[in-house]
Amino acid sequence: MKITTVILAAGKGSRMRSELPKVLHKIAHKPLLQHVYELSSQLNNNSIKIVYGHGGDLVKEALQGINANWAEQKQQLGTGHAVQQVADQIEAQDIVLILYGDVPLLKLATVEKLIALVSDKSIGLLTVNLANPTGYGRIVRNTDGKVLKIVEEKDASSEEKLITEGNTGILALQGGDLKRWLSQLGNSNAQGEYYLTDVIEMAVNDGFTVNTRLAESEDEVLGVNNRLQLSHLERVYQKEQAEKLMELGVTLLDPTRFDIRGEIAHLGTDIIVDVNVIFEGVNSIGNNVKIGANTQIKDSVIGDDVEILSHCVIENAVVGQGSRVGPYARLRPEAILADHVHIGNFVEIKKSTIATGSKVNHLSYIGDSTVGSQVNIGAGTITCNYDGVNKFRTIIEDGAFIGSDTQLVAPVTIGKNATIGAGSTITKDSPENQLTLSRSKQTSIASWQRPVKKDK
């Protein structure tokens, strides 16, 4: 069985009041259209066609690299007209699945069940029970419950408007049937559009059965038309993600204040996550990890028994087993912490490796550095890695002790077990085991008197 998925994404989305095409607005940092694409790409033996229109180049650019054919619908003359744009790419024996590019939360299981409703004499239609059906096409059934047609809100009689079973727009049918019906579509209706929904009545007239399936919820099939719906679906999506994580054994102190924008490649046991934590990109989290409030972790690997205190920003970093980071720490890309490393408040680490048991506890910048094991870096230490043009490395060997408020002007090496006196500006390599310091001599002026305020 070969499937052709047609994703309708040409609509303007004027109610978004945005320069950005609607399908590029995001849920969990991912364009709406990409959610739909990723769902359909989970179907086997499937070729995907995307009908685009408004802001076409932007849409293509944002989703470049996906495995789909693009078809432009120059004028948006209706959903039926949109599908007509790819009719010549559809084979008669294909099962065609119609999806909307602005319906991001549709479930794979729903789609699979819908496809199973298609046969030589039947089509599958996804419908939804609605508390308020306003705006939706209504499913018109006869007294036996058999589907007869779909009537659009603007074409509906007052009696039909009372129907609460709505059309989701999502349907599955055989390619040959679809192509035949598409060629018969007209636009004599209230909106002067070519309605894809007219296909239903044509199917019935051709002796087909319309098999329906109800969506799990309204939210599963809700299309985004405005920012309110966008934010609503973001919350629904985040709630689903939070529930998945809790089912997998993660403690979320408040599931309504937790966001995941991406995926978790590895998830350990007994992870505790405080409020307002954001996981972005692809993260891997070990066992017994505690993550403090207001922390953001992106594309990182967090080892077992790690504690991340509140207000940390961690990106493209590795935190080794038993390490402690924060509060208020920033691990920038390529910060690699080995086991039992301590990174404290207002410390920034960039493109540096820090070996086992080393500590950078307060107010420091460590960039482009190789730090050995059991090193202690005092408060306010800065690696001066940049001369305005080039970056240079700082090497701090095992067991070194860097006194507070030290500048290490790279390229520079601090030898094994060396001690650097507080307040030093180190411009030359410092030998192993010795104390090195660069500090102007302290003087006291005994005769000095504080200035006093002059009389007016």
Contact residues for Ca ion, defined by CB under 5 A:
223
Q: What is the rounded distance in angstroms from the CA atom of residue 382 to the CA atom of residue 394?
A: 10
The residue with tokens 């940049």 is 386
Q: Are 389 and 372 in contact (CB under 8 A)?
A: no
Which of the ranges 8-16, 28-36, 347-355, 390-398 carries the binding residues for ligand UD1, by CB under 6 A?
Answer: 8-16
362 in active site: yes
- Paired tokens of 199: 């296909």
What part of residues 57-86 is at the interface with ligand UD1 (CB under 6 A)? 73, 76-79, 81-82
Which of the ranges 40-48, 95-103, 303-311, 379-387 carries the binding residues for ligand UD1, by CB under 6 A?
Answer: 95-103
Which runs of consecutive H residues, i.e. helices, occur in 47-189? Answer: 56-62, 79-84, 108-115, 175-182
SS (H, E, C) 421-434: CCCCEECCCECCCC
Choose from Ca ion, ligand UD1, none: what does 78 bind? Cβ within 5-8 Å by kind. ligand UD1
Complex with ligand UD1: residue 104 or 292, whichever CB lies closer:
104
Complex with Ca ion: residue 232 or 332, whichever CB lies closer:
232
Complex with Ca ion: residue 222 or 260, whichever CB lies closer:
222
SS3 357: coil
DSSP characters over 41-76: TTSSSEEEEEEE-TTHHHHHHHTTT-S-EEEE-SS-
Which of the ranges 3-11, 110-118, 177-185, 395-403 carries the binding residues for ligand UD1, by CB under 6 A?
Answer: 3-11
Size (the chain), residues: 456
Q: Are 272 and 249 in contact (CB under 8 A)?
A: no
Is there binding between residue 196 and ligand UD1 (CB under 6 A)?
yes
Complex with ligand UD1: residue 156 or 306, whichever CB lies closer:
156
Q: How many residues bind ligand UD1, per CB under 6 A?
A: 27
Q: How far is the CB of 81 from ligand UD1 (least distance, A)?
A: 5
My answer on whether omega of the bond before 327 falls inside 30° of 0, hence cis, is yes
Q: How far is the CB of 69 from ligand UD1 (least distance, A)?
A: 15
Complex with ligand UD1: residue 75 or 440, whichever CB lies closer:
75
What part of residues 126-145 is at the interface with ligand UD1 (CB under 6 A)? 136-137
Which of the ranges 161-169, 255-263, 335-343, 444-452 carries the binding residues for ligand UD1, by CB under 6 A?
Answer: 161-169
The residue with tokens 């104390």 is 435
Active-site positions read 362
